[in-house]
Structure 1
């Protein structure tokens, strides 16, 4: 099967790619608007992109053609955001943050999540998240209807017990993120891991 994303299958690209490129980590992203109102929204078009400097990328789609979602608008205005990673313990609450709420309504309150003060940026991190990455926007790249926001990671908050402080390796069994699978409603647990050492 060959799928031409420049022709007949162009309109199906989201379903095809979102189903194949999995599992994807989830960025439960917190931002604030110019009035200080908090917004929290999950995005699975997200990943870490580099380490020198440490950067992440999120790609929030538009609310409707030409109208950016609150996350993208807030980042453009304030240059700051926090990526809160999602594990099994907060997966259901993350999903509640995806609800279409009236403008200005706080998704954290709606989902029963706790805002915690960040160190280097104004948007709060989420206390229940296993790890939160405080970010400053580095650049925003618009390609067609896509908006890729690249953020430099300034601070990381990690739940106690996840890292071995001597090696900075994650302790096996201490961190169980969920991954986004195919649309519309599928996710994956990450409990079943295997080790495969690189050849020398």
Structure 2
């Protein structure tokens, strides 16, 4: 199979693009609005983009509540989605009105960041506290802006549950992070963990 994306005539029932770029880590983004409301939403367009300084990014398709709050307050958190929390993560993905607390909706405990004024998932095995450094709207080859906004944040504090630390490092077999595979498919990153030394 070969096709050019301008026509997107792949002949399949569903667009395969997001399934090819997989697995994608899920950033469970926690924010607080200027009105004091809490928001929690999972983003599979999420990743680390720099190690020094430590910078992560999530991308909002459309102007969602997480984007609004991050713009207004300049901070957000990213909690690790693990296998034991995946059902609650799914519950927090519901489209609800602004101001509805997805922590409560999903039966999760919100905990305010130590350094930033944004909540994270207390039950998560790890969480990042971030300050917004940039918000970019990508453009296509035609120069037209996409209906997406990339929110970059520098990680200024990190929470790690001691239960997933073994021999001086995080044990991903214990943490069991979840990845998005495309369509409605997900993977358990802890089910087949192996080491591979670089040449």
Name the residue aligned to 1:83.
78
* Aligned-partner Cα distance in 2 for 1:149–1:22: 20
Q: Deviations over 1:43-80 (max 9, x none)?
A: 00001111110000100111xxxxx1001111111110
* Aligned-partner Cα distance in 1 for 2:65–2:15: 23
Name the residue aligned to 1:186.
185
Name the residue aligned to 1:97.
92
Query: Does residue 116 of structure 1 match 2:111?
Result: yes
In structure 1, the residue corresponding to 2:105 is in which secondary structure? helix
Q: Deviations over 1:22-44 (max 9, x none)?
A: 11111110101111100111000
Name the residue aligned to 1:2.
2
The alignment of Structure 1 onto Structure 2 pairs a total of residues equal to 189
Supply the RMSD in Å over aligned alpha carbons: 1.9
Query: Does residue 176 of structure 1 match 2:179?
Result: no
* Aligned-partner Cα distance in 2 for 1:109–1:117: 14
* Aligned-partner Cα distance in 2 for 1:10–1:151: 36
What are the within-5 Å matches in structure 2 for residues 62-73 of structure 1? 62=62, 68-73=63-68
* Aligned-partner Cα distance in 1 for 2:158–2:137: 27
* Aligned-partner Cα distance in 1 for 2:147–2:172: 39
Query: Quick one: structure 1 residues 172 and 39, their matched pair in 2 at CA, closer, same or farther if it must change by over 3 Å?
Result: closer
- Per the TM alignment, residue 172 of structure 1 is displaced from its structure 2 partner at its CA by 5.5
* Aligned-partner Cα distance in 1 for 2:158–2:97: 30
* Aligned-partner Cα distance in 2 for 1:59–1:158: 24
Q: Which runs of 5+ in 1 are unaligned?
A: 63-67
Query: Quick one: structure 1 residues 130 and 10, their matched pair in 2 at CA, closer, same or farther if it must change by over 3 Å?
Result: farther
Name the residue aligned to 1:160.
162
- Per the TM alignment, residue 10 of structure 1 is displaced from its structure 2 partner at its CA by 8.6
- Per the TM alignment, residue 182 of structure 1 is displaced from its structure 2 partner at its CA by 1.3
Name the residue aligned to 1:15.
15
- Per the TM alignment, residue 145 of structure 1 is displaced from its structure 2 partner at its CA by 1.8
Name the residue aligned to 1:34.
34
Q: Deviations over 1:120-171 (max 9, x none)?
A: 111111111111100000001101222111100010101112234x74x223
* Aligned-partner Cα distance in 1 for 2:148–2:94: 21
Name the residue aligned to 1:65.
none
Name the residue aligned to 2:143.
none
Q: Which runs of 5+ in 2 are unaligned?
A: 139-145
In structure 2, the residue corresponding to 1:135 is in which secondary structure? strand
